[in-house]
Amino acid sequence: MGASDIFLNALFYLFAVIAVAGVVGVAASRNIVRSAFALLAVLFSTAALYALMKADFIAAAQVLIYVGGILVLIIFAVMLTHRITDVKISNESTPGPAAFCAVVCLLFALVVIILPVPDPHHNKWDAGRGPEAKRYENSDYTLLQFQADGKTGLALGGGTFEDEAVVGIRADKWPDDALRVMVEVVPSEVVTREDVEKMIAAHAPEEAILRVIKERGSTALSPDDLAALTKAGASDSVIARMQASVERAQLSEPIAKNEPQVLVRISKLKERKYAWKVKVVGGDKDLTGWMSYKTDGADFEVHRGVTQPIAFALSRQYLFAFEAISVLLLAALVGAAFLARKEVMDR
Amino acid sequence: MSLDPVQIWKEIRESGIGISLLGIFIVGGALINLIAVYAGLSTLIERKVAGHMQARVGPYRVGPHGILQWLADALKLMIKEDVIAKDTDRLLFRLAPYVVFAGSFACWVALPYAPGWSPANFNIGILYLLAVSSAVVIGILMAGWSSGSKWALFGAMRSAAQIVSYEVPVGLTLLSMLLLYGTLDMQQICYAQEKGFLWGIFPEMNGGLWSWGINRFPPFTLIAFLIYYVAALAETNRTPFDIPEAESELVAGYHTEYSGMRFSFFFLAEYANMFIVAAIAATFFLGGWNPPVPTIPSYFLFLLPGTLIGAGFGYVLKKRGFDAVVGAVIGSGLAVLAAVIVLKGGAPGDHFLDSDSPPIAKFVGGAFWFSAKIFFLLFVMIWLRWTLPRYRVDQLIDLCWKKLTPLAFVNLLAIGLFTTVPAWWPRLTEWVKGWGH
């Protein structure tokens, strides 16, 4: 874990503590206006957590909608009630059993969130990809997905890895005609760091260009590649893995000459730190250089602003927790309506 | 993860994160000082302009022509006693000025000051600006409620209602302009106004003034600009929309109970907000840092500051026989000479926006035009303040919901049609031909 990870983790815990403290403030405050203002801390720190997940758009939308809209509405509603300066309505009147049930549900949801849930769609991308693909069936790989826009020639991104290695690249045409590139990154237990170094040494001292899709029909590493690899002392497993990644990188349909091609470059930044970049050549515009992205830290810069990782996490890994929380929120809504009704009846 | 502190310290030193943190603090500190100086100077400008519009001189005692008045004001605010009344909610009362100030300060980091020069460049630029500035509303409500005073509470309610209402036309006009640019990034929006011409003819032409957003689809973009400017005026609670702090009704609005440094935070935030709305207007409608003339040689950008400096020298040396005009000529000549020497890296005479022009030329040129546009818009705000009477509450809400919002909707529709129909035109004609057969 690098220094930037420590820093990001510190930020995460800071905002998480603020969020939890805000929630406690919302629940425990005797004064309803103070509860509303404590909600401000919760909403802002949640937005900060989104920003730490590189989901800038969701963070901004969260602040815009919840702080700028809903929170203002809540505070307005509270202030427009009569005797605004001494509002004493609070959650003291919550019945004990309901509170107990809510706490149990919340704890259950927390446990569900913390426990890792196996992803049922884990190997969807590898279906029917040959025997090599099945090799990683049970390994815990991360799938990074990029959209390559053949029209502008703009693509993609890269990142650095310290404890991870790129093992596979695949490009697919999706039904909406967009070319999407998937990069598989596995922890170094699966592909050791020595293997990666050998891969790099096999091609060039400084950098290795793994040409994933060359032209139509290139389903295998060329004899030159193989010779270079063997000369550099790459083991059979490394060669097999590179072969697999080249195979997997085939487009589902054969590509025409002018269609964009996907290239992957692995370069060594410094000791124990490699950078990988993906780009598209061809298409309407030809790029002469690699897309430059800041690659500092073990940080996948390309995820910035992309909401897909969150969607993936919510709809796969944490699907059950997501559903449980939605049920809990529904219960809370019904409970709130119940409490409000009771307040009127007391008068 | 190793928890060895020596190892962690080594990693922190090697990764350069300390330097980037230091950079964050330096940029933040510089921006806070910039806001303070800008707010001080704009109060001085406001008072001077007001004085001259009302046929008096304005502040005149501190410094020559009163130009140091703002420093005296700042000193006064700093050494004033910080009074907290008995009925206040102490925590929220103390917190509110910081929330308001943080809301406007956070916007300053995302503005496009010069080509490629933004303290933090987001791809969600304008969305971030709109989101973060919503903290101001919360801070105002916090201040009004926690003051324990009915004037403050009324002021806060009015202010929040006004800001929230006027965010609708602001959002709609910005949305209609975003249809033209196709990006939320503030820098990209400026780059998009470098080229293009009226109604999308000659899309590759650098038309200077005619490439700006305001001239893209006349008259709709002009209407959008006017709607935005009026709504932004209301969002910053400026006259004629200053009912939240109407002196004759509410003492001073939501900051009635504040004094000293806490009051000055509200004051700074108010002027910082004026700058932000003017900057957004300049970016979206007036070309950002693009100059009004297609090509201006880089070194001419040093003419105006040079002339001003020269005029200053001439004024000082007047008694020794020099004339202000002579000083100005000498100053501008020296400035151009200095610029030619400084900009030797790029060929003198090139446009400062050229990709190979030196960064200093980009910064000076971009920042000059950007701030010139902002200060022009600020001057118009001041001008309106000392010209127009105040609206009533019902008139204000009426203007927003019954006039500006429907107009902004129609405008959005028109700009949307004019940006999409030309792209559909070939397909449409084909379809008509096919239908005839």
> Which among A5, A7, A67 has the least Cβ separation from residue B135?
A67
DSSP A175: T
Contacts with A66 from chain B: Cβ below 8 Å = none
pLDDT at A285 over 70: no
Q: Please say whether the beta carbons of B101 and B268 come within 8 A.
A: yes
pLDDT (average), residues B400-418: 92
Percent of chain B with pLDDT over 70: 83
Contacts with B122 from chain A: Cβ below 8 Å = 56
pLDDT at B101 over 80: yes
B153-173 residue pLDDT tens? 888 888 888 888 899 999 999
DSSP H or E stretch at residue A209: strand A207-211
Q: Higher-confidence residue: B40 or A245? A: B40
Are A84 and B153 in contact (CB < 8 Å)? yes
pLDDT at position A332? 75
CB atoms within 10 A of CB B296: 19
Q: How far apart are CA A217 and CA A220, in angstroms?
A: 9
Q: Higher-confidence residue: B198 or A305? A: B198
CA B267 to chain centre: 16
pLDDT at position A232? 54
pLDDT (average), residues B360-371: 81
pLDDT at A305 over 50: no
Category of B156 on φ-ψ map: left (φ > 0), alpha (ψ -120 to 50) or beta:
alpha
Q: Higher-confidence residue: B76 or B295? A: B76
* Mean pLDDT, all residues of chain B: 81
B298-356 residue pLDDT tens? 556 666 666 777 777 777 766 666 666 777 777 777 776 766 665 543 343 445 566 66
pLDDT at position B304? 67
A51 pLDDT band (50/70/90 cuts)?
Answer: confident
pLDDT at position A338? 67
Q: How far apart are CA B15 and CA B7, in angstroms?
A: 12
Q: Nearest-CA residue of chain B relative to A2? A: B11
Find, among B233, B267, B266, B248, the residue nearest to B388 by Cα.
B233
Q: How far apart are CA A288 and CA A29, in angstroms?
A: 61
B280 pLDDT band (50/70/90 cuts)?
Answer: very high
pLDDT at B283 over 90: yes
pLDDT at position A330? 83
pLDDT (average), residues A253-277: 47
* Mean pLDDT, all residues of chain A: 58
Q: Please say whether the beta carbons of B153 and A79 come within 8 A.
A: yes
Contacts with A297 from chain B: Cβ below 8 Å = 15, 17
Least confident of A285-299, B350-364, B379-393: A285-299
Residue environment code for B385-423, b if the CB has 16+ CB neighbours within 10 A, otherwise e: beeeebbeeeebeebbeeebbebbeebbebbeebbeeee
CA A281 to chain centre: 26
Q: Which amino acid is at B2?
A: S
pLDDT at A109 over 90: no
Residues 6 or more apart from A343 whose CB is under 8 A from it? Answer: A89, A93
Q: How far apart are CA B363 and CA B369, in angstroms?
A: 10
Least confident of A1-10, A202-211, B81-90, B388-397: A202-211
Strands A207-211 and A154-155: unpaired
Q: How far apart are CA A104 and CA A101, in angstroms?
A: 5
DSSP letters, A41-86, are HHHHHHHHHHHHTT-HHHHHHHIIIIIIIIIHHHHHHHHHSSSGGG
Q: Higher-confidence residue: A243 or B101? A: B101
Q: What are the C-alpha distances in Å from B409 to residues B169, B200, B231, B380?
A: 8, 22, 14, 26
pLDDT (average), residues B383-398: 87
Selection from A135-144, A304-313, B214-223, B249-258 with the highest mean pLDDT: B214-223
Q: What are the C-alpha distances in Å from A216 to residues A147, A178, A257, A259, A265?
A: 21, 19, 8, 11, 20
Q: Higher-confidence residue: A341 or A204? A: A341
pLDDT (average), residues A160-188: 46
pLDDT at position A317? 65
Residue with tokens 């909403």: A43
pLDDT at A174 over 70: no
Residues 6 or more apart from A341 whose CB is under 8 A from it? Answer: none
pLDDT (average), residues B253-269: 84
Q: What are the C-alpha distances in Å from B75 to residues B71, B80, B81, B269, B364?
A: 6, 9, 12, 18, 31
Are B148 and A85 in contact (CB < 8 Å)? yes
Find, among B195, B237, B197, B240, the residue nearest to B218 by Cα.
B197
Cα Rg for chain B, rounded, in angstroms?
25
Q: How far apart are CA B290 and CA B192, in angstroms?
A: 10
CA count, 13 A, side-chain hemisphere, A323: 5
Percent of chain B with pLDDT over 90: 16
Q: Check CB contact of A2 with chain B, cutoff 8 Å.
A: yes
Contacts with A64 from chain B: Cβ below 8 Å = 127, 130-131, 134
Under DSSP, is residue A129 helix (H, G, I), strand (E, B) or coil? coil
pLDDT at A301 over 80: no
pLDDT at position A116? 54
> Which among B124, B138, B160 has the least Cβ separation from residue A67?
B138
pLDDT at position B302? 64
Are B138 and A75 in contact (CB < 8 Å)? yes
pLDDT at A68 over 70: yes
CA A51 to chain centre: 12
A323-339 residue pLDDT tens? 877 887 888 777 766 66
Contacts with B16 from chain A: Cβ below 8 Å = 296
Tell me the three-class secondary structure of chain B, residue by residue: CCCCHHHHHHHHHHHCHHHHHHHHHHHHHHHHHHHHHHHHHHHHHHHHHHHHHCCCCCCCCCCHHHCCHHHHHHHHHHHCCCCCCCCCCHHHHHHHHHHHHHHHHHHHCCCCCECCECCCCCCCHHHHHHHHCHHHHHHHHHHHHHCCCHHHHHHHHHHHHHHHHHHHHHHHHHHHHHHHHCCCCHHHHHHHCCCECHHHCCCCCECHHHHCHHHCCCCHHHHHHHHHHHHHHHHCCCCCCCHHHCHHHHCCHHHCCCCHHHHHHHHHHHHHHHHHHHHHHHHHHCCCCCCCCCCCEHHHHHHHHHHHHHHHHHHHHHHHCCCHHHHHHHHHHHHHHHHHHHHHHCCCCCECCCCCCCHHHHHHHHHHHHHHHHHHHHHHHHHHHCCCCCCCHHHHHHHHHHHHHHHHHHHHHHHHHHHHHHHHHHHHHHHHHHHHC
> Which among A33, A69, A297 has the least Cβ separation from residue B145?
A33
Q: Please say whether the beta carbons of B365 and B114 come within 8 A.
A: yes
Find, among A342, A178, A321, A165, the residue nearest to A238 by Cα.
A165
pLDDT at position B231? 93
pLDDT at B253 over 50: yes
pLDDT at A154 over 60: no
Least confident of A224-233, B62-71, B124-133: A224-233
Q: How far apart are CA B339 and CA B299, in angstroms?
A: 5
pLDDT (average), residues B44-62: 87
A149 pLDDT band (50/70/90 cuts)?
Answer: very low
B81-100 residue pLDDT tens? 888 888 788 888 888 999 99
ipTM computed for the complex: 0.75
Instruction: Return the sign of the alpha-carbon dihedral for residues B353, B355, B358, B360.
Output: positive
Mutate which: B13, B124, B184, vs A, most A CBs within 10 A: B124
DSSP letters, A106-121, are HHHHHHHHHS----TT
Q: Check CB contact of A263 with chain B, cutoff 8 Å.
A: no
Residues 6 or more apart from A294 whose CB is under 8 A from it? Answer: A301
Numbered residues of chain B with Cβ closer than 8 Å to any chain A Cβ = 1, 8, 11-12, 14-17, 89, 92, 99, 122-124, 127-128, 130-132, 134-135, 137-138, 141-142, 145, 148, 153, 157, 160-161, 164, 167
Category of B321 on φ-ψ map: left (φ > 0), alpha (ψ -120 to 50) or beta:
left
pLDDT (average), residues B395-399: 89
Are B145 and A79 in contact (CB < 8 Å)? yes
pLDDT at position A259? 47
pLDDT at position A82? 52
pLDDT at position B149? 81
pLDDT (average), residues B133-156: 86
pLDDT (average), residues A1-25: 82
Q: Check CB contact of A57 with chain B, cutoff 8 Å.
A: yes
Question: How close, in Å, is residue A229 to chain B by CA atoms?
Answer: 32
Residue environment code for A260-277, b if the CB has 16+ CB neighbours within 10 A, otherwise e: bbbbbbbbbeeeeebbbb
